[in-house]
């Protein structure tokens, strides 16, 4: 089983590249947002617990999110690997994920971080905001704050993984195909 983390700030193309990587390698996509919505929709005990936190305006605790990831790993035991999309976001989450994966007798094979200039991200997100209906993609000040928050948290996670896992910085500007090829090259070196 080969597991990877795909990181990138909002607008870096994670969604597009995730789809292409999943199609090529057969990875199972693990997005914590998707997991939360699924667990809540299915009214699982973890989903109901998460909903209680969300309904009261609180962040879902790491233990609950890790529990959902554990369930997803168990229910997809035959997967070729997992693509973690934007998770873990903190050192504590990275440590918890590593402990969980060790119990499951696997690990993170590589962390790929898409690097895109702030001005390019701003252009992409404002353009996406014109068609997506996402209010957080229409305000330049909000976008810049999201990008700053990403850099504050993610740099620590990248440092954490540099101790034990390959971390590759991938230029996230250019054609979709050239970025995809760079991601594949980094993965193929580790498979």
CA–CA dist 28, 22 (Å, integer): 7
Report CA torsion sign: 140, 145, 149, 152.
positive
Question: Which is nearest to 25 in space by CA: 115, 116, 114, 109?
Answer: 109
Whether 144 is catalytic is no
Q: How far apart are CA 170 and CA 179, in angstroms?
A: 7
* Residues 19, 8: Cα–Cα separation, whole Å: 15
Q: Is 37 a catalytic residue?
A: no
Calpha distance 177→191 (Å, rounded): 20
Would you call 28 helix, strand, or coil by DSSP? strand
CA distance 151 to 8: 9
Catalytic residue among 51, 104, 128, 144: 128
Q: Which of 14, 43, 80, 171 is catalytic?
A: 14
- Active-site residue identified among 89, 99, 102, 144: 89
Task: Decide if 128 is catalytic.
Answer: yes
Query: Catalytic: which of 37, 80, 99, 134?
Result: 134
CA distances from 178 to 173, 182, 183 (A): 9, 6, 9
Q: Supply the residues annotated as catalytic.
A: 14, 89, 128, 134, 146
């Amino acid at each position: 089983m080969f597991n990877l983390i795909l990181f990138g700030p909002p607008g870096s193309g994670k969604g597009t590249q995730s789809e292409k990587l999943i199609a090529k390698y057969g990875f199972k996509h693990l997005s914590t947002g998707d997991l939360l919505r699924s667990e809540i929709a299915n009214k699982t005990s973890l989903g109901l617990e998460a909903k209680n936190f969300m309904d009261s305006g609180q962040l879902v605790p790491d233990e609950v999110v890790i529990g959902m990831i554990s369930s997803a790993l168990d229910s997809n035991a035959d997967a070729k690997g997992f693509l973690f999309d934007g998770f873990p976001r903190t050192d504590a989450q990275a440590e918890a994920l590593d402990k969980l994966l060790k119990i499951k007798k696997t690990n993170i094979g590589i962390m790929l971080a898409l690097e895109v200039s702030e001005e390019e991200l701003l252009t992409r997100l404002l353009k996406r905001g014109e068609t997506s209906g996402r209010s957080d993609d229409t305000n330049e000040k909000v976008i810049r704050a999201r990008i700053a928050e990403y850099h504050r948290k993610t740099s620590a996670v990248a440092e954490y993984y540099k101790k034990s896992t390959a971390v590759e910085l991938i230029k996230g500007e250019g054609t979709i195909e050239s970025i995809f090829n760079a991601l594949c090259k980094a993965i193929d070196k580790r498979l």
